Amino acid sequence: MMDKQPENPLHGITLEALLIDLVDHYGWAELGNIIDIRCFNHEPSINSSLKFLRKTPWARAQVEALFLSNK
């Protein structure tokens, strides 16, 4: 069985890689201004942000949309 997703622009990109790219591009402060969630504004870290984003679909959708708008 082949797992192909030709219409999914995020296929093959992990949430961690996506988040690292955004932090490198914007920095935590600007990322927290763009997407106002606590894990970006209060003691931000990749691990805490990943944990929150994996449990919170609306926040993950905003982060993915921001990533796609930069590509």
Write out pLDDT tens, residues 31-49: 999 999 999 999 999 999 9
The pTM assigned to this predicted structure is 0.86
Domains parsed from the chain with CATH numbers:
15-69 (1.10.720.30)
Predicted pLDDT of residue 4: 65
What b/e sequence results for 44-69 when a residue is b if at least 16 CB atoms lie within 10 Å of its CB, and e otherwise?
A: beeeebbeebeeeeebbebbbebbee
Per-residue pLDDT band at 3 (split at 50, 70, 90): low
Residue 44 tokens, joined: 């931000």
Rounded distance between C-alpha atoms, residue 59 and residue 45, angstroms: 16
> Tens of pLDDT along 50-64?
999 999 999 999 999
